[in-house]
Each structure stands twice: as C-alpha cells, then as structure tokens.
C-alpha cells in the first residue's frame, strides 16, 4: 500500500493527472418542463478537461419522458439527433485560460523530476503540483459561472424553464456539478504536492542534522 502511494506522488501521479483531462470534468443536468405543464425530460451536458482547455460543445444526453407512460424514459445520445429537425439545445463553453495554466503547471512539475538534486526536485515537483491544484479549482469555478450564463441564454431563447424547478427528489431542476475526472485529478495533485513537499522538508532536516553531527565530530577534544 505504501509503495502504491509512493508511486502516485512520484511523476507517475502527474502523468495520471494529464490522462484525467480526457475524462469528464463538469456536467450540467437540466430538467425541461413546459410552463405550467408536465416534465418533458432532462438534458445532461458533459464536458471533459480537454473541452475546458480547447473550448467545445458539451456531450449531450437526452432523457425524454413518455407521455403515455410517465414512468418510462428514453435515453438518446447526441449522435442520435443527426439529421433530425428537432433536437435539444446545445451548450458550448469557451476556452478556459485557467485550464491551460493548470496543464502548464503540471508540465513544469513533471519537468522538475529531471532535477538532479533531491531537495530541489521535491520543491519543484511539489510546488508545481500545489499551484496546479489551485489553478484547477479556479478553473472549475470559472467554468461553473460560464455554464450558468449559457443556461440563462438557453432559457431566454427556447422559452423553457431550465431553472427554478424541482426534480423527483425535491431538489433543484438545474444542477451543475464536477465529475469524477476533475475530482481524481485534484486528489492526485494534492497527493503529489503534499508527498513531495513533506519529503523535501524531511530530507532537508536530515541533512541539517548530519551537518551538525559532522561539525561536532570535528571539534578537538582537550587532552586528559
């Protein structure tokens, strides 16, 4: 177990962070309901970390409610709407500069693994991972605000209520949440940061004790 943790706060963890950018980072679930009418269905938009870096349209999943049998639902993916006149609205997100900054900081931390001196290597890797974790959290907050703005535009354009609704559990009809790819990336960055910075401090303290012991050994003793 300790060996696995040690591997994760080594550069291996940073490589996994980069792979997490291909996974879902952000999701938006909107319940659709005609004014004063029954629920039509729900749309789920999913954005990967790469979508936040490049700017892209969210992957869409549409869950429609059967009018004849409200308990039954039908799920369609975005590709199922190709060639159809009626399709759910789409949400696109702009390129997020903070997501790009996160990738740059992760790359710097990876490059720090090439530093030969152990103390400096731990400082560069751990510090880069710590700053990348802060940038990743800021990316999530900024993307959340932008998605909410896009949803407000959809509500105005399509005339359907995408907020102020309640779902079957009594919660909000519009939910913006971070996905597992974001959480795993953040957890790995924190693990790399804490592991390397703690190791660097411990090694620095050990070097200081060794230097003090060496100086004590060199003190001449008085003849008896």
Encode burial over 97-108: b for 16+ CB neighbours within 10 A, e otherwise.
ebbebbbebbeb
Please tell me the pTM assigned to this model.
Answer: 0.75
Contact 154, 162 (CB under 8 A): yes
Residue 51 has pLDDT above 90, yes or no: yes
Please provide the average confidence, as pLDDT, over all residues in the chain.
75
Domain for residue 223, yes or no?
A: no
Residue 68 placed within a domain: yes
Burial class (CB in 10 A: 0-12, 13-18, 19+), 25: buried
pLDDT at 224: 43
Q: For residues 190 and 53, give the distance between their C-alpha atoms in angstroms, rounded to a whole number.
A: 21
Lowest mean pLDDT of 44-48, 174-178, 196-200, 216-220, name the range: 216-220
**Cα atoms found within 13 Å of the Cα of residue 168, Cβ hemisphere only:** 6
The pLDDT value recorded for residue 128 is 94
d(CA 185, CA 173): 28
For 100, the domain range is: 17-209
Q: Is residue 216 domain-resident?
A: no
Picking from 62, 61, 71, the residue whose alpha carbon sits closest to that of residue 38 is 71
- The answer on pLDDT for 99 being more than 60 is yes
> Is residue 98 one of the residues assigned to a domain?
yes
Domains: count for the chain: 1
Look at residue 55 and tell me whether its pLDDT is greater than 70: yes
Residue 163's CATH number: 1.20.140
Asked if residue 8 is part of any domain, the answer here is no
């Amino acid at each position: 177990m300790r060996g696995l943790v040690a591997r994760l706060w080594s550069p291996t963890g940073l490589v996994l962070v980069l792979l997490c950018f291909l996974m879902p980072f952000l999701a938006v679930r909107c319940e659709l309901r005609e004014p004063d009418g029954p629920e039509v269905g729900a749309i789920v938009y999913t954005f990967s970390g790469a979508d936040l870096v490049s700017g892209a349209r969210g992957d869409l999943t549409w869950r429609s409610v059967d009018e004849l049998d409200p308990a039954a639902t039908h799920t369609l993916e975005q590709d199922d709407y190709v060639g159809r006149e009626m399709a759910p609205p789409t949400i696109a997100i702009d390129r997020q500069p903070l997501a790009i900054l996160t990738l740059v900081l992760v790359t710097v931390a990876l490059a720090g693994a090439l530093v030969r001196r152990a103390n400096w290597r731990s400082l560069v890797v751990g510090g880069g991972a710590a700053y990348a974790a802060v940038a990743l959290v800021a990316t999530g907050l900024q993307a959340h605000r932008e998605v909410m703005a896009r949803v407000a535009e959809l509500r105005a354009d399509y005339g359907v209520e995408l907020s102020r609704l309640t779902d079957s559990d009594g919660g909000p009809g519009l939910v913006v949440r971070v996905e597992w790819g974001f959480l795993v990336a953040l957890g790995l960055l924190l693990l790399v940061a804490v592991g390397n910075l703690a190791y660097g401090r411990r090694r620095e303290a050990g070097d200081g004790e060794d230097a003090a012991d060496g100086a004590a050994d060199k003190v001449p003793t008085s003849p008896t």
